[in-house]
Amino acid sequence: MGGTMKTRKLFQQNVYLKSVTATVSSVNYDSDNTIVTLDQTVFFPEGGGQSGDCGTLTKNGTVFPVIDTQEGDTGEILHIISGRTENLCPGDTVEAVLDWPHRFDNMQRHCGEHILSGAVYRLFGGANKGFHMGEDSITIDISFNGDSSSGAYEKMTWEMAEAAETEANRVIWQDLPVSVDRFDTREEAEKFPLRKTLTFDEDISIVTIGSEDNPADCVACCGTHPARSGAVGLIKIYKIEPNKGMSRIYFEAGQRALTHYQNQFNTLYELGNRMSAGYDDLLRKYDAQTAKNQQLHDRLSAFRTRILNAEQQRLAAEMRPGLISRYDDLSVDDLFNLGKKIGPVCQGVIALVHEPSHTAILLSNEKHCGRLVKAIAPQFSGKGGGSDSSARAFFPDKEHLEAFLNAALL
């Protein structure tokens, strides 16, 4: 309903404008949503790695939740309302209100990406070749080929990441101005000290952090950013990994970085309490506990070997066709190892039974265990398989296990 027109993008004039009274220009529908355009809006559409704004449109007290914002092919801003509504028409007056926490979260994270990318570039000549703002973290892919100003580096190390993180937070502490300049031609925009080469020729927005003559970062970007770097609050790197010949950095900025740090700190705090250790002593206590656990593991392995050897001797002395030996204190893996030891002296078919898991391990010198399990186990709701000399079958309960043993061995 109604035609479309280019929307006045008020967020380009004032990124802190949270609401505006606007006139509905058009209302259209797809299979799931109502799509509304306005003559002017504070809603930023998805672009530049940043998600579209959310919020509400309100008409005469009726609230329509905007779940996403996109940009149309001819410059109009599309406000996406979930479901189909017939209560909005061209010419209606609405109050457009942002979900400000969502917007400010995007502003902190997007500006944080600029600051960290600029720090990596200035310190090491690494070029940001990929950027993604995910739900769990922000990632940037850093390349030291092609655009690099130095051939000294091949990949990001953790020490380099720590240096870049410190420099990025120093930019935040300086509370530098974040300015946006808009240009109609590439020639004008390229007069700025850009971190990345321009890839388009018109409607160019250049975001500069700090002064133009010595910026902390300067790059083309259509997203929304706070007015000063201090609003980003915090940048924290979590992980580095190789990705297609580049170094992928995982990090967070703003409130999300603080929340992530608090969660990690709470885990560290609880671990320290459990180990009766302070932060300075935690690694030493952990190493000591690990060494103690290894000693216990070695002792347990020695005891297990002695038990299996003794059990091997007992079974060899009692060996007969149809022998069933039951266990609840050895694991299934222990019984497999015992089976390897006792297999050569088996007579007929015998069974080692792990009662807690209702598992039977068949052993035989007659070379037909696997076929026996596949033929009989399914009759008693069992599953399994194996080789001619050794096979395993497991069952849902003791009754089915016992019925299988009666059928297979007796």
Domain 8-98, classified CATH 3.40.50.300, yes or no: no
The pairing of strands 55-59 and 62-71 is antiparallel
The predicted-structure confidence for 214-272, as pLDDT tens digits, reads as follows 999 999 988 899 999 999 999 999 999 999 999 999 999 999 999 999 999 999 999 99
The fold for domain 311-409 equals Diaminopimelate Epimerase; Chain A, domain 1 (3.10.310)
Sign of the alpha-carbon dihedral angle for 12, 228, 201, 72 = negative
Q: Give one DSSP letter per residue of 226-264, joined into a string.
A: -SBGGGG--EEEEEEEEETTEEEEEEEETHHHHHHHHHH
Query: Do residues 169 and 240 make contact, with C-beta atoms less than 8 angstroms apart?
Result: no
Q: Is 72 exposed, middle or buried (0-12, 13-18, 19+ CB in 10 A)?
A: middle
Of the candidates 382, 392, 349, 383, the residue with the CA atom closest to the CA atom of residue 368: 349
Q: What number does CATH give the domain 104-271?
A: 3.30.980.10
Query: Cα(128)–Cα(89) distance, rounded to whole angstroms?
Result: 44
Query: Cα(359)–Cα(382) distance, rounded to whole angstroms?
Result: 9
Of 372 and 150, the structure prediction assigns the larger pLDDT to: 372
- In a 13 Å sphere around the CA of 58, the CA atoms on its Cβ side amount to 12
Residue 147 reports pLDDT greater than 60: no
Q: Enter the pTM of the model.
A: 0.77
The ranges assigned to domains in the chain are: 8-98, 104-271, 311-409
Kindly report the average pLDDT of the chain as a whole number: 92
Residue 151 reports pLDDT greater than 80: no
Scan for tokens 């809603």, then name that residue.
43
Tell me which H or E stretch contains 209: strand 204-210
Tell me which H or E stretch contains 107: helix 100-124
